[in-house]
Amino acid sequence: MKRLGLLAVGLAVTSATIMGAGPAHADFTDQVEVTDSGENEQEAGFGEYAVSRNQPGSCLVVQNHTGGTVTLRLNYPTSRGKWTLRHDSVGVLARNGKVVTSPSGRWSVRTNPPIRWAWIYDGNLNTRKGCNGSWVLTMN
Q: How many domains does the chain have?
A: 1
Query: In Å, how far are 80, 104, 124, 131, 139 from 88, measured between CA atoms?
Result: 24, 28, 22, 23, 10
Task: Classify burial at 18, counting beta carbons within 10 Å of its beta carbon; exposed 0-12, middle 13-18, buried 19 or more.
Answer: exposed
Residues 6+ apart with CB under 8 A from 137: 49, 51, 60, 61, 62, 63, 107, 109, 117, 118, 119
pLDDT at 96: 86
Question: Is residue 117 assigned to a domain?
Answer: yes
Range 69-91 average pLDDT: 89
Range of the domain at 38: 24-139
Question: Is residue 14 assigned to a domain?
Answer: no
pLDDT of 1 over the 90 cut: no
Percent of the chain with pLDDT over 90: 49
Question: Is residue 124 assigned to a domain?
Answer: yes
pLDDT at 30: 77
pLDDT of 107 over the 60 cut: yes
Percent of the chain with pLDDT over 70: 72
Question: Is residue 18 assigned to a domain?
Answer: no
Q: Which tens digits make up the pLDDT trace of 19-63?
A: 333 444 445 567 877 766 555 556 677 788 888 788 999 999 999
Predicted TM-score (pTM) of this structure: 0.72
Question: Is residue 31 assigned to a domain?
Answer: yes
Question: Is residue 13 assigned to a domain?
Answer: no
Question: Is residue 12 assigned to a domain?
Answer: no
Question: Is residue 60 assigned to a domain?
Answer: yes
The answer to whether 70 and 9 have CB atoms below 8 angstroms apart is no
